[in-house]
Amino acid sequence: MPISFPFDAILWDMDGTLIDSEPIWIAEETRLMEEIGVEWSEEDALHCLGGPLERVDAYMRSRSGNRHAPLELANQLIERMVVRLSNHLEFSPGAHELINQLHQAGIPMALVSASTRKIMDAALLSIGREFFQHTCSADDVSKTKPDPEGYITAAKRLEVRIENSLIIEDSNTGMSAAIASGAYVLGLPHLTQLPLGEKVVHRQGLEGLDLDGLASLFKGVLV
């Protein structure tokens, strides 16, 4: 690990942060809802951004007149997403370059997602499991985001201090979990405004960001 790098570990969110999967989620939500006679708007999509799937399912059922059993729509959405994510996925701009640098520098990393294990495992076929010493899905915790359990558990599994780790997130739900964990947080506000905090820095994406740049972003907030 570089001597000057200030964080014990990097904990990555998956959808929209590491991989450019948000358009796929929106497209599959839209198709599913249209098939049951519901027009899915941009406002609907933004409301569901960041999950978790239980909340998305409840919202989709409410939009469809509560004509479906709990998790019926979510399970259909999962199956569609597994097919889509098992094929080639695009990294978010700048994410592949940054994660490669972190990996080569030997910095511990974990992947923490509000998606199910089936979806995470499908996405990992494209992302590459070799980057992560630990992966945590919604199925691996008792409470998923916005609860911080996943991030706190990941830090424990990596045997690092959560308060000296950095979380990279892009949704309000994920940011809430990240801030509550006590970690430093890099927020990527590409679709919605994100919360602020004493240990939070915002940046418009990961393009052009290397290890030195990542460390420099937090010079003013490092404790």
Rounded CA gap, 34 and 45, in Å?
A: 13
CATH of 10-20+90-217, one of 3.30.360.10, 3.40.50.1000, 3.30.420.40, 3.20.20.80: 3.40.50.1000
User: How confident is the prediction along the chain (223 residues), in pLDDT tens digits per residue?
Assistant: 544 899 999 999 999 899 988 889 899 999 999 999 999 998 999 888 777 788 899 999 999 999 999 999 999 999 998 998 888 788 999 999 999 999 999 999 999 999 889 999 999 998 999 999 999 999 999 999 999 999 999 999 999 999 999 999 999 999 999 999 999 999 999 877 899 999 999 999 999 999 999 999 999 898 6
Please check whether residue 186 is in contact with residue 217, taking contact to mean a CB–CB distance below 8 angstroms.
Answer: yes
How far apart (Å, rounded) are the C-alpha atoms in residues 64 and 33? 8
Give a three-class secondary structure readout of the chain. Answer: CCCCCCCCCEEECCECCCECCHHHHHHHHHHHHHHCCCCCCHHHHHHHCCCCHHHHHHHHHHHCCCCCCCCHHHHHHHHHHHHHHCCCCCECCCHHHHHHHHHHCCCCEEEECCCCHHHHHHHHHHHCHHHCCEEECHHHCCCCCCCCHHHHHHHHHHCCCHHHCEEEECCHHHHHHHHHHCCEEEECCCCCCCCCCCCEEECCCCCCCCHHHHHHHCCCCCC
